[in-house]
Structure 1
Amino acid sequence: MADKNKNKLAFLSMPAPASYVAGLGRGASGFTTRSDIGPAREGPSAEVIAEAQARRGEEADVDPEQFQDPDNEYGLFAGTTYEADDEEADRIYEQVDKNMDARRRARREALENEELAKHRAERPKIQQQFADLKRGLAVVTDEEWESIPEVGNLTRKKRKRDERSFVVPDSVLVGDRSKTEYENALDVRQQEAGGFETPADSGTLTNFVEMGQARDKILSLKLDQVSGTSTSSGLATSIDPKGYLTSLDSVVLKTDAEIGDIKRARMLFDSLVKSNPKHAPGWIAAACLEEHAGRMVAARKLIKMGCEQCPKSEDVWLEAARLHNNDDAKVVLANAVQHVGQSVKIWLAAADLEHDIKAKKRVLRKALEHIPNSVRLWKETVNLESNPVDARILLARAVEVIPLSVELWLALARLETPEKAKAVLNKARKAVPTSHEIWIAAGRLLEQEAYADDKPDDKRNKELEMVDRTIELGVRELRRHGVLLTREQWLKEAERCESEGSPRTCEAIIKATIAMDVEEEDRLDTWVSDAEAAEVKGNIGTARAILAYALKVFPDKRSLWRKAADLEKAHGTRESLNAILERAVHHCPQAEVLWLMLAKEKWLAGDVPAAREVLEKAFVANPESEQIWLAAVKLEAENGELGVARELLVRARTVADTQRIWMKSAVFERQQGQLSTALETLETALKKYPKFAKLYMIQGQIHQSQGNMAAARASFAAGIKACPKYVTLWILASRLEEVDGRSIKARALLDKARLANPGNDQLWAEAVGVEERSGGATQAKTVLARGLQECPNSGLLWSMAIWAEPRPTRKSRSADALRKAADDPLVLCTVARLFWAERKIEKARQWFERAVAANPDLGDTWGWWLKFERQHGTPEYQEDVIKKCVAAEPHHSSTWQSIAKDMKNTGKSTSEILELVANALH
């Protein structure tokens, strides 16, 4: 046993084999440690490692391409080379892979977005849940914010109150008291010389009196020096000693960064002027830099050097004059004219430096000696002359020197008498045959002469015809000399003439040039668009002249006459409107609307016989015209001629025999209280026109007013059967049942009506009204929600939805309504009423204006606006609303129609109906 252990120890002390690696049998490999540095040995070779793996039964790792001969490769692409087409193919395949990945990515992102949207819809963010409440915070007033209570302890934990108190020491109180006090006593160690011992150094005495006297003496010396009283230096300046200290406040203290920037800029400009001393802008910039830095002396020195280096640059001389005071600037400009005597700017700057008119004139006349062909100098010289005679003499000399200046010719013509002005313009026309301004000035001169004195109309008309001939001749002459102004340029000149008070010259220009550069088939549309554009700009005379020329070319166009009549109605007088309408009916006798407009104007003017005469002529030209017959009936009825009106209706039923005439006959009899006659008329009319819904409506209403519910129900039922698409019939039938106490029947009728007329918001609104009137507020909201689902863009339903909300949420509901039906007048009117309720007067007025602009035919909107102005507006605002409503002549809206068609209000005017509507709305 001892020998065995001895052999084991001997084995451990034996040296390792040369190729021994510790742990190789367990898969370890050779490595080198820091102790091996020096006589380190190499690791085992590949053969030794393979031998050891073979003893363990492991197979050696063999690279399949290890022994491959590159010259004897095999495979699909063996023996080929990688060329440019291979590279291109790889690039194409790579691009295809990228596109496929991008397409999949787009689908993947779309799917992710869809899932995210679904998730947000199911679980919205806190921000989205409180969006309406956040919008409501915009209307919270300052008082409401201040009244919000403070947040208390929400943790429900009982907090310990620290009720301990501490006594404040007296030293703190005394120290706080002495903080705001001032020391008002001097040191007791006062010496006889008047000095006081300095606390910092008790051995030194300071005499404050002598220090103050020395300071005053030095300051007085400085002020004497700068004011020029001290002649020891031989320098005198213009500094005001009294304002010296005040001027110190205006000194601008520059920061270190600004000073650094100025130094760098100074170096750059210094290099610039040294490298290129003939570059004038460099000297100007360098001088401006010094001026900005507050070094005026250096700036003047630099600009003086610039003037010496660039004596031919007028900008340098002007900058030098600007940097000097007035007297020195005169000297600078006097030197400037020695070098650049042809510079107009130099002479004008020199004239501006003079404060005396005579001196200015002397400078300018000296300038004209050097530059006699400068129009600007002549104009400045003439403007200084207060005597017209002297100005006329100067202008006469100016046009001799500069015969091609149109401005000078025109100025001379304005100063001359009319006869001499004609001679001047003739000379100007010969001197400048290419100027259209001279021809226009000649036309304006002739127009001025025509209206100068009280002349007979014949003579004035002949003189005005001369204006037309002059402008026409001018256009021909300009064309002959090659001056081809465009049509738009001539229109601008016409508008300018109108704005300057020459309407006949404007008309003459339109006559001579409006047909230029226009294709024959496009003339009407082009002229109408030109007239509309001129009207929008406010050039009514230009628009009137364009339409007048168009009517001469197209005298049989009804639309053109209607546009001209509308223009006169909006901007002209009653006489001009009557004149244009009389011409219109003469050229277009078959145009019923023109006859009616003329008759209405005569009637509004109070000339009822003239209106009858117009309608009689209209009968002759249009014997079967329904509108003319009804207009004649209305005229007679409004003027109390009821018998004549009835006879006209009888004749109209014989001659014209239209369903509207039969309806108006029944309405007329009903208004006169002849209900039996009205019913007989309706029965006859229904036999002729069984599909006319209004006949059934009037018949049912008459029966309902008589208390005959069964007959009224039968009339409405017959009407619904004959005209199922007429919504008003369904609504009247439902209201009849509701009045009769049959709300269930009313609901059933409305349900049938919605089946026959799907998507109709009036039927849904009526259904909501039925539920509200029967006391079912919850059911009314349900019906309203269903109606909004079927008619999401209905302004009527959105308006009802806004008012159905409680006050705090109405604003957010109105925002939703504006998104769905932004331009609906009912929604706009509702928003205006909301602003009204919040006392936002100006905003409410603006929204009422938007509502009536969106649809002026809704009478209820006008009523709400007038009611608003009655409460918050001035009498001027109220009159303006009434005037606009009368001009618009509204006919629709529920409250307006119910009041206007009431038999008690027959014959009332639009303004009276508006007052009744405003009082009825609530």
Structure 2
Amino acid sequence: MFGATKDFLGKPAPPGYIAGLGRGATGFTTRSDIGPAREGPTEADIAKLQEQARRKAAEDGDDDERFQDPDNETGLFNTAPYEADDEEADQIYDAIDAKLDERRKARREAREKEEEERINKERPRIQDQFADLKRGLNTVSMEEWENLPDVGNIAGKNRKKANLRDKFAPVPDSLLPRAQEEMATSLDAQPNGLATPAPSMTNFREIGEANKSVLGLRLDRMADSASGQTTIDPKGYLTGLNSVVVRSEAEIGDLKRARLLLKSVITTNPKHAPGWIAAARLEEHAGKLTDARQIIDKGCQECPKAEDIWLEAARLNNTDNAKKILANAVKQVPQSVKIWVQAAQLETVPKAKKTVIRRALDYVPNSIKLWKTAIELEDDPNNARILLARAVELVPLSVELWIALAKLETYQNAQKVLNKARENIPTSHEIWIAAFCLQEANGKPVERLVVGAVKTLSMKESALSRDQWLEEAEKCEKNGFINTCQSIVGATVAMGIEEADLKSTWMDDADGAIGRQSFGTARAIYAHALKTFPAKKSIWRRAALLEKAHGTRESLEELLVRAVKFCPHAEFLWLMGAKEKWIGGDVPGARVVLGAAFEANPNSEAIWLAAVKLEAENGEHGRAEMLLSQAREKADTMKVWMKSAVLERQLGKLPEAMQLLDQGLAKYSTADKLWMIRGQILTDRGDNQKARENYIKAVKFCPKSVPLWILYSRLEERAGLQTKARAMLDRARLLNPKSPELWLESVRIELRGNNANFAKTQMAKALQECPSSGLLWSESVWLETRAQRKGKIVDALKKSENSVHVIVTAARLFWSDRQVEKARSWFLKAEKSGADLGDAWAWHYKFEVEHGDEARKKELAMRCKAAEPRHGEYWQAVAKDQKNAGKPQDEILVLVAASLPSNVVA
């Protein structure tokens, strides 16, 4: 206890501590406590210090009174040290002040605005008082502006004194005789004074008329222009003012620097023609055309042999001066073709043009351009032929002149001309091609001539490449020489290609020619390829499709007849031939083609079904049933059984159809279409229980068939079992994930049950699972309100990658907004994007019924018939209806369009 160290030992005593004070001790003060003894400052010292302080403040410009203001702290405590805590405190205060100022900002601005409005109302500005009148000035016409009277100064005593020079005081008559005497005296005093004495001018009326005449002459003299015109055109004057270019200081500086630079160029090297031309063009750009002409004139004097400077001088002058300049130019540069041609162009009379060109040919007889210009100016073919004959003598290496002369000659003379041209220019392929065209134009064969030309040019090492020959073939086709085109293709299409690459290269060449609209060239390539590969079905198919799209029906039938001879097992060619016969109205001919196809392909399902369709749609149902019975024996396929049941159902023979379906299902239990047809027949009978049993078995055998699940759910929905129908769709989605059709049916079953909110929820889930489905995006647009559909369609187009369903929906939106042209353009986009979707054609047709005319509707029906659409919700519902069996595409289109709902209803 006693050994513990006290914590206050060794520390300084607290302030005011007196030892023993608690025990009654008294304190005392020593010298060490109060410091050394000294006297304080006297009053004189204090006054002296104050005087020094005042003097120093006056020198520094300080105001002593500011230290007396308690609200002004500027300058206070300047001598105190500024530490970190002071800076932090200042920052805190500044932040607080800024925050408070921000909070009061809105109220302060509102208060200031009210104050400003109050002041404006009490003391409005002059421009505010007359603002409405200023706005009304835009309605004042030019006549009203011109008729405004001059405003005088009516300020009373503040009115300025008028200028005395502007005042007019009539001269007294007494001064006029004196002026007459002085005038006569001054005239007589001149060396060349008037010999005739001045007449008496005491007649004041004559004096006034003379004054008027003198004044008129003076005014006319002042109005005279440099060109001698004595009138001023106000329109031309205003146009000239508009042409004045106001340049900035920077542009003026650039012009000055460029002018100095070009001046240095033409000074150091005056024989450099481009320098003079550049200097003249600079002045022209600066708007100083006169200076430009002067500079170019000096350039012509310094560089008389430069043709460009003469042409520039002619360009800068008017037509008359340009003719004179070019006349001097041809004296200095008589061999310049450009100058002669420019001189001919300046002439306006054809005879004068011919004279100039012929004069030019005297100086430059070997100029092709001058000869061509001279020939173009000739209207008489005989004169042109004479000129061409002289031209080819003087310019024997010009291919154009030889070919032009051959075109003007007769057939025999043209042959001689071309033969002579080949002697002079043996390496020209243009002359050979002209010879080919000449032979074809006169009905002569060209194949041997083409082959010989290719060999000859190859020997002279001037033959074209394969691609260049094909380009020449396309040019011949464009000019109407089809035989020449085909001969060139046949002789050159195989040049430089290995045998293994022949087929692929030729197919690429044909595709390229078709893309360039050169169908004759593509046809020639296919013809040569078929000679080389006659058993290739793909080439025959391409050639047939080309003839169907861009040929005639006769050429297509002829091609198909040859095709089936070389490829008898090509079902496509047989069916295409039979269809063309059928479309052309030759039903017996189509039967003959199909009969030959049966012989070549006895087990072909496609040929059997084509024959059945031909007979059924032409009313020969008995023959169709017989063909189907034979097909079930020879071509025992699921599709044959299905077509058999469909035919019996169309004929109203439902027991026979059910029997065929049962037999077919015994063989093909996984054929979902057979199950669907059976279920539809039972539903049409009203036997829902058996239909339900049919679908229960069907989904066991065909769990991946989406249409089968949809039919099953609709059966339950019609029976009033919506919960069971939803359960069927949920089960179907588990077995068939990412199926847009199942999700769409789930949404629609809720819409049919008036449960729109749950339908939107289902649609959101559907788009999460199938984010790029155009079918779902199209439906989702119609679930939105009218104001939100435009924004939704933009997202739909992006997410669905321009699906045809979404494009049709966009067209319908434009249609609903009465934007007819935009809607029509989007319907046309839908046709190109998905020609197989029948619903798109139907919506377009319904649109044209409302906003189009008969011509548009007929053209649309023709395009639809050519496209042969097969899919679409509304299209299949109408096309597969038993009442519409066998109807053509255009009638189906009208029926589908009539069955569509309102445009603004999904």
Q: TM-score range by the shorter chain?
A: 0.7 to 0.9
- Alpha-carbon separation, structure 1, partners of 2:899 and 2:721: 27
Alignment of 1:260-299 (within 5 A): 261-299=254-292
Per the alignment, residue 707 of structure 1 pairs with: 686
Alignment of 1:283-322 (within 5 A): 283-322=276-315
Per the alignment, residue 780 of structure 1 pairs with: 759
Q: Which runs of 5+ in 2 are unaligned?
A: 1-27, 41-109, 138-144, 171-207, 902-906
Per the alignment, residue 49 of structure 1 pairs with: none
Deviation at 1:777, TM superposition (A): 2.1
Q: Contact between 1:198 and 1:204, CA under 8 Å: does it hold in 2?
A: no
Note if 1:407 corresponds to 2:369.
Answer: no
Per the alignment, residue 221 of structure 2 pairs with: 221
**One-letter code of the match for 1:424?**
V
CA deviations over 1:611-668 (Å, ceiling 9, x no partner): 1100000000001111111111111111111111111111111111111111111111
- Alpha-carbon separation, structure 2, partners of 1:852 and 1:475: 47
CA deviations over 1:659-687 (Å, ceiling 9, x no partner): 11111111111110000011111111111
CA deviations over 1:45-66 (Å, ceiling 9, x no partner): xxxxxxxxxxxxxxxxxxxxxx
Per the alignment, residue 200 of structure 1 pairs with: 162
Note if 1:552 corresponds to 2:531.
Answer: yes
**1:420/1:204 CA distance change after superposition, 3 Å:** closer
Per the alignment, residue 693 of structure 1 pairs with: 672
Deviation at 1:361, TM superposition (A): 2.1
Q: Contact between 1:364 and 1:381, CA under 8 Å: does it hold in 2?
A: yes
Per the alignment, residue 574 of structure 2 pairs with: 595
- Alpha-carbon separation, structure 2, partners of 1:745 and 1:785: 22
Q: Contact between 1:368 and 1:377, CA under 8 Å: does it hold in 2?
A: yes
CA deviations over 1:277-330 (Å, ceiling 9, x no partner): 111011112222333445444333322221121122100111122233334333
- Alpha-carbon separation, structure 2, partners of 1:596 and 1:203: 110
Per the alignment, residue 377 of structure 1 pairs with: 370
Q: Contact between 1:447 and 1:467, CA under 8 Å: does it hold in 2?
A: yes
- Alpha-carbon separation, structure 2, partners of 1:204 and 1:652: 121
Deviation at 1:808, TM superposition (A): 1.1
Greater mean alpha carbon deviation, residues 753-762 or residues 204-213: 204-213
Secondary structure at the aligned position of 1:255 is classed as: coil
**One-letter code of the match for 1:701?**
Q
- Alpha-carbon separation, structure 2, partners of 1:207 and 1:533: 96
Deviation at 1:492, TM superposition (A): 1.7
Secondary structure at the aligned position of 1:589 is classed as: coil
Secondary structure at the aligned position of 1:896 is classed as: helix
Per the alignment, residue 330 of structure 2 pairs with: 337
**One-letter code of the match for 1:428?**
A
Q: Contact between 2:224 and 2:231, CA under 8 Å: does it hold in 1?
A: no
**1:652/1:424 CA distance change after superposition, 3 Å:** same
CA deviations over 1:852-889 (Å, ceiling 9, x no partner): 32221111111111111111223232222212211111
- Alpha-carbon separation, structure 2, partners of 1:705 and 1:407: 80
**1:841/1:315 CA distance change after superposition, 3 Å:** same
**1:740/1:337 CA distance change after superposition, 3 Å:** same
Q: 1:248 aligns with which of 237, 240, 248?
A: 237
Deviation at 1:910, TM superposition (A): 0.9
Deviation at 1:748, TM superposition (A): 1.6
Q: Which runs of 5+ in 1 are unaligned?
A: 14-154, 189-196, 227-237, 451-462
After TM superposition, where is structure 1 displaced by more than 6 Å over at least 4 residues in a row? 7-13, 159-168, 184-188, 207-215
- Alpha-carbon separation, structure 1, partners of 2:616 and 2:893: 22
Q: Contact between 1:864 and 1:921, CA under 8 Å: does it hold in 2?
A: yes
**One-letter code of the match for 1:750?**
L
Q: Contact between 1:761 and 1:787, CA under 8 Å: does it hold in 2?
A: yes
Q: Contact between 1:704 and 1:712, CA under 8 Å: does it hold in 2?
A: yes
Deviation at 1:771, TM superposition (A): 1.7
Q: Contact between 1:754 and 1:760, CA under 8 Å: does it hold in 2?
A: yes
- Alpha-carbon separation, structure 1, partners of 2:372 and 2:589: 60
- Alpha-carbon separation, structure 2, partners of 1:754 and 1:423: 83
- Alpha-carbon separation, structure 2, partners of 1:398 and 1:205: 83
Deviation at 1:222, TM superposition (A): 4.4
- Alpha-carbon separation, structure 2, partners of 1:654 and 1:10: 146
Per the alignment, residue 347 of structure 2 pairs with: 354
Q: Contact between 1:636 and 1:642, CA under 8 Å: does it hold in 2?
A: yes
Q: Contact between 1:347 and 1:363, CA under 8 Å: does it hold in 2?
A: yes
- Alpha-carbon separation, structure 1, partners of 2:153 and 2:637: 120
Q: Contact between 2:774 and 2:805, CA under 8 Å: does it hold in 1?
A: yes
Q: Contact between 2:772 and 2:801, CA under 8 Å: does it hold in 1?
A: no
CA deviations over 1:549-599 (Å, ceiling 9, x no partner): 111111111111111111111111111111111111111110001101100
Per the alignment, residue 433 of structure 1 pairs with: 426
Alignment of 1:443-482 (within 5 A): 443-450=436-443, 463=444, 466-482=445-461
CA deviations over 1:171-225 (Å, ceiling 9, x no partner): x99xx99x9995589999xxxxxxxx99524587337999998774334124567
Secondary structure at the aligned position of 1:891 is classed as: coil
**1:204/1:570 CA distance change after superposition, 3 Å:** closer
Q: Contact between 1:198 and 1:205, CA under 8 Å: does it hold in 2?
A: no
Alignment of 1:661-700 (within 5 A): 661-700=640-679
Normalising by structure 2, report the TM-score: 0.76
Deviation at 1:537, TM superposition (A): 1.7
Per the alignment, residue 783 of structure 2 pairs with: 804
Per the alignment, residue 56 of structure 2 pairs with: none
Alignment of 1:173-192 (within 5 A): 183=149
**1:667/1:309 CA distance change after superposition, 3 Å:** same
CA RMSD of aligned residues (A): 3.4
Alignment of 1:550-699 (within 5 A): 550-699=529-678
Q: Contact between 2:612 and 2:628, CA under 8 Å: does it hold in 1?
A: yes
Deviation at 1:709, TM superposition (A): 1.4
CA deviations over 1:408-427 (Å, ceiling 9, x no partner): 00000011011211111111
Q: Which has the higher contact order (CA 8 A, sep 6+)?
A: 1
Deviation at 1:498, TM superposition (A): 1.3
Per the alignment, residue 709 of structure 2 pairs with: 730
Deviation at 1:164, TM superposition (A): 14
Secondary structure at the aligned position of 1:485 is classed as: coil
Per the alignment, residue 770 of structure 1 pairs with: 749
Alignment of 1:869-888 (within 5 A): 869-888=848-867
- Alpha-carbon separation, structure 2, partners of 1:599 and 1:665: 21
Secondary structure at the aligned position of 2:720 is classed as: coil
Secondary structure at the aligned position of 1:206 is classed as: coil
Deviation at 1:266, TM superposition (A): 2.9
Alignment of 1:713-752 (within 5 A): 713-752=692-731
Deviation at 1:819, TM superposition (A): 2.3
Secondary structure at the aligned position of 1:373 is classed as: coil
- For these two proteins, the number of residue pairs brought into alignment is 738
CA deviations over 1:42-85 (Å, ceiling 9, x no partner): xxxxxxxxxxxxxxxxxxxxxxxxxxxxxxxxxxxxxxxxxxxx
Deviation at 1:332, TM superposition (A): 2.3
Alignment of 1:85-100 (within 5 A): none
Deviation at 1:406, TM superposition (A): 0.2
Per the alignment, residue 132 of structure 1 pairs with: none
**One-letter code of the match for 2:392?**
V
**1:183/1:553 CA distance change after superposition, 3 Å:** closer
Secondary structure at the aligned position of 1:857 is classed as: coil
**One-letter code of the match for 1:668?**
L
Normalising by structure 1, report the TM-score: 0.75
Q: Contact between 1:198 and 1:206, CA under 8 Å: does it hold in 2?
A: no
- Alpha-carbon separation, structure 2, partners of 1:225 and 1:825: 73
**One-letter code of the match for 1:501?**
G
- Alpha-carbon separation, structure 1, partners of 2:673 and 2:633: 20
- Alpha-carbon separation, structure 2, partners of 1:501 and 1:239: 62
- Alpha-carbon separation, structure 1, partners of 2:165 and 2:883: 114
Note if 1:818 corresponds to 2:797.
Answer: yes
Greater mean alpha carbon deviation, residues 729-738 or residues 868-877: 868-877
